[in-house]
């Protein structure tokens, strides 16, 4: 838990030739190492640009109060490597899904505090030149999107570990064997221990913006939903594809539950992206593999993936009005 949050009390109700075998795994692990370096805090001393106001009011044709939107989150919200990068410290794109939503809806104001590499801790603590993300929210905020938890569970280290272990038993499940070696599923435990951190974030958002509509955004389909792998293009062992798929599903299920009990609306980005995972052909995938073919960080959404998540968020917004909790 982040320090200094004890006053939060209220709980509301991602075709060419392909390397093979050991070389593919080594390249995959190296790619993830590069991604971790990219998404670490303070990638560059360049000044951050935590947000910007947009002129105008709410969405055209909407006669309700002006919407003031703040986006919080990690690299899946920030859009590392996707052009155009507008914040070197946070590897943030102006074509990430928060920016696409804000551009389409022409909100009264828009602040994007998302930052690659963020965990729930960065909601309260600075990350390089990016201030505590919660500081972007105030009493006048009417819409908040939050996508966080993947780094608390350990996305980057998990992918690097599984890619490295794949060469030891490509037909087996060496990654799963590694994470259950202690007699319990360490990754499932990581998801469970992240749940109260998500609950704390939602309480803090509601405390700072009591009238805001809050969206908790899930993670897109990273690996084939049918569990069938694509080694060596994505260098995980055959038995680890379904294990890692199920781990992500557990994370999303936890986020859905925390949204339900935390006064937020869950945005499903997994369902709309099934069939467009990192194993698919470049023209079909929304998530880039460990060796991206489109501008994106390894195992992250490309520009089309961010657009798909924007569509999922907008679908949720359109279900029952926009921008105010009521």
- Domain ranges (residues) in the chain: 34-318
User: For residue 96, what pLDDT band results from cuts at 50, 70 and 90?
Assistant: very high
The count of residues in the chain is 326
Active-site choice (52, 63, 75, 157): 75
85 Cα distance to chain centroid: 17
Cα separation, 144 vs 107, in Å, equals: 12
Look at residue 70 and tell me whether its pLDDT is greater than 70. yes
Nearest to 191 by CA among 221, 155, 163, 217: 155
Helix (H, G, I), strand (E, B) or coil at 147: strand
More confident residue, 14 or 213: 213
* Annotated active-site residue in 95, 206, 276, 300: 300
In this predicted structure, the answer to whether residue 287 has a pLDDT above a threshold of 80 is: yes
Q: pLDDT value at position 323?
A: 58
Which is more confidently placed, 125 or 41?
125
pLDDT (average), residues 213-228? 98
pLDDT at 202 > cutoff 50: yes
| Radius of gyration, alpha carbons of the chain | 19
| For range 75-99, the mean pLDDT | 98
Each residue's pLDDT tens digit, 159-179: 999 999 999 999 999 999 999
Between residues 194 and 33, the one the model is more confident about: 194
CATH superfamily of 34-318: SGNH hydrolase (3.40.50.1110)
pTM for the model stands at 0.82
- What is the mean pLDDT of the segment spanning 230-245? 97
- Predicted confidence at residue 319, as pLDDT, reads 87
Mean pLDDT for the chain overall? 85
pLDDT value of residue 107: 96
**CA separation for the pair 204, 191 (Å, rounded):** 20
The pLDDT of residue 179 is 98
According to the model, what pLDDT value does residue 320 have? 67
294 is catalytic: no
Separation of alpha carbons 93 and 79, rounded Å = 5
pLDDT at position 322:
56
Average pLDDT over residues 270-275: 98
Q: How confident is the model at residue 325 (pLDDT cuts 50, 70, 90)?
A: low
Catalytic residue list contains 95:
no
Confidence of residue 223 (pLDDT cuts 50, 70, 90): very high
Cβ–Cβ under 8 Å, residues 48 and 85? no
The pLDDT of residue 28 is: 45
pLDDT tens figures, 245-271: 999 999 999 999 999 999 999 999 999
Q: Which run of H or E residues covers position 178?
A: helix 174-179
């Amino acid at each position: 838990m982040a320090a200094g949050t004890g006053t939060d009390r209220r709980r509301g109700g991602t075709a060419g030739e392909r390397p093979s075998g050991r070389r593919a795994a080594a390249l995959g692990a190296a790619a993830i190492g590069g991604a971790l370096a990219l998404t670490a805090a303070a990638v560059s001393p360049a000044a951050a640009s935590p947000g910007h106001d947009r002129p105008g009011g709410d969405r055209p044709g909407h006669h309700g109060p002006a919407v003031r939107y703040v986006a919080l989150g990690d690299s899946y919200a920030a859009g590392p490597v996707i052009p155009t990068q507008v914040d070197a410290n946070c590897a943030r794109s102006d074509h990430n899904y928060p920016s696409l939503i804000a551009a389409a809806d022409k909100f009264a104001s828009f602040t994007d505090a998302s930052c690659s590499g963020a965990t729930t801790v960065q909601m309260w603590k600075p990350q390089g030149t990016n201030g505590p993300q919660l500081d972007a929210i105030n009493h006048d905020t009417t819409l908040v999107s939050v996508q966080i938890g993947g780094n608390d569970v350990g996305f980057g280290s998990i992918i690097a570990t599984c890619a490295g272990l794949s060469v030891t038993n490509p037909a087996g499940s060496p990654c799963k064997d590694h994470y259950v070696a202690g007699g319990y599923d360490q990754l499932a435990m990581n998801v469970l221990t992240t749940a109260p951190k998500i609950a704390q974030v939602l309480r803090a958002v509601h405390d700072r913006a009591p009238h805001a509509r809050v969206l908790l955004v899930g993670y897109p389909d990273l690996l084939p939903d049918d569990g069938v792998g694509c080694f060596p293009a994505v260098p995980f062992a055959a038995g680890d594809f379904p294990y890692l798929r199920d781990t992500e599903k557990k994370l999303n299920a936890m986020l859905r539950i925390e949204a339900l009990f935390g006064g937020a609306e869950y945005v499903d980005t997994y369902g709309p992206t099934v069939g467009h995972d990192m194993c698919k052909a470049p023209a079909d995938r929304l998530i880039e593999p460990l060796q991206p073919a489109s501008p994106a960080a390894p195992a992250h959404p490309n520009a089309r993936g961010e657009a798909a998540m924007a569509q999922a968020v907008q679908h949720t917004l359109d279900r029952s009005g926009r921008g105010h909790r009521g």
